[in-house]
Amino acid sequence: MSYVAADDRYSTLDYRRTGRSGLLLPPLSLGLWHNFGDERSSGSQRAILRRAFDRGVTHFDLANNYGPPPGSAETNFGRALATDFASYRDELVISTKAGYDMWDGPYGDWGSRKYLLSSLDASLGRMGLDYVDIFYHHRPDPETPIEETAGALASAVTSGKALYVGISNYSPEQTEAMVEALDAHGIHLLIHQPRYSMFDRHIERGLFPVLEKHGVGSIVFSPLAQGMLTNRYLDGTVPSDSRAATSRFLSEDALDDTYLSRARALDEIAKGRGQSLAQLALSWVLRQKAVTSALIGASSPEQLDENLKALDAPALTDDELAAIEPYAVDGTV
């Protein structure tokens, strides 16, 4: 049966302004980093995407290398877009990125003009789109002048292939430099996508003031610390299908006694609020004024629903934040 979006999809979420721009994003956005490669069925992927949009999640975040294999998340998303969401394109914010290794040879990585614009064309082809809403440089390139990278991002906008541009994994100093380089082209840096969670707080050391100064929004990734801020590992075991057992991004060695003591303490605080640990972790990152949205993954519609329940909880009180602080330790990941 053809997909018809829920009539009440805009009735529950409070959309947030992205820095000093006109773009509103949902407080939770759907990231396609995991669960949208070729190892997952198209039916499962379409069910997650449909549920997200039915719940008011209008932003889908991709990158050229998401999969596995690299590129497959964009290809699979493009099929779902054509099948289910073509008539809703103007209601969606679709982003992609380039900056990590994507193809062989010297032109398939980092931040050159050749790589970024070639990658954007390839991404548009895989998704069947004329443009993306946001095009990111995925990581800073220490060898390419930032003016060249900024010029490529500006060209993406002036050519009509992207409406906005962003950066990811940039330091405060690198962010300042990109703001200045884009200003030379009359382009505003819309958004920064950094890693941020209770267990990885490095961006609190200088990035937030830079974003606020320049009116740049932020959308944080890994707010659940690759699953460490869920109930997945609280009993001390590693399920065979878990991220720690199957992904290179999380090692079983990280699930040590220090981690367990902190995660279990945070879980008790969450229970006191009527939340799961994951829901508490999302409430905690969204407390930051500079955070426009948090990226969540989902392996099922039900998991997506559980994460969205974080938005129903009351704001964290000063006492709750003080209770969390001893256990929300940077470097736990």
Q: Which residues pair with 96 in a beta bridge?
A: 135
The residue-averaged pLDDT of 305-330 equals 98
SS3 294: strand
Q: What is the pLDDT of residues 228-241, one digit of tens each?
A: 999 999 987 766 56
pLDDT classification of 333: cutoffs 50, 70, 90: confident
Q: What is the average per-residue pLDDT within 89-106?
A: 98
Q: Which element (helix H / strand E) includes 189?
A: strand 189-193
Q: Tell me what percent of the residues of the chain surpass a pLDDT of 70.
A: 96
pLDDT tens digit sequence for 118-135: 999 999 999 999 999 999
pLDDT at 249 (0 to 100): 59
User: pLDDT value at position 254?
Assistant: 73
Distances (CA, A) of 51 to 6, 242, 301: 9, 23, 6
What number is the average pLDDT over the span 61-84?
98
- φ/ψ of residue 81, rounded to 5: -60, -45
Residue owning tokens 């969390």: 324
Q: What is the pLDDT of residue 245?
A: 45
- In sequence order, the 6+-apart residues with CB closer than 8 A to the CB of 285 are 196, 197, 198, 220, 223, 291, 294
Tokens of 142: 């220490």
Asked if pLDDT for residue 330 goes beyond 80, the answer is yes
Q: What is the mean pLDDT of the chain?
A: 95
Task: List 98's β-bridge partners, or say none.
Answer: 137
Secondary structure (3-state) at 312: helix
Tens-place pLDDT, residues 133-191: 999 999 999 999 999 999 999 999 999 999 999 999 999 999 999 999 999 999 999 99
The stretch 3-30 carries a mean pLDDT of 98
pLDDT at 257: 93
Structure-token pair, residue 212: 């606020």
Phi, psi (rounded to 5 degrees) for 124: -60, -40
Average pLDDT over residues 40-63: 98
Average pLDDT score over residue span 280-285: 98
What secondary structure letter does DSSP report for 296? E
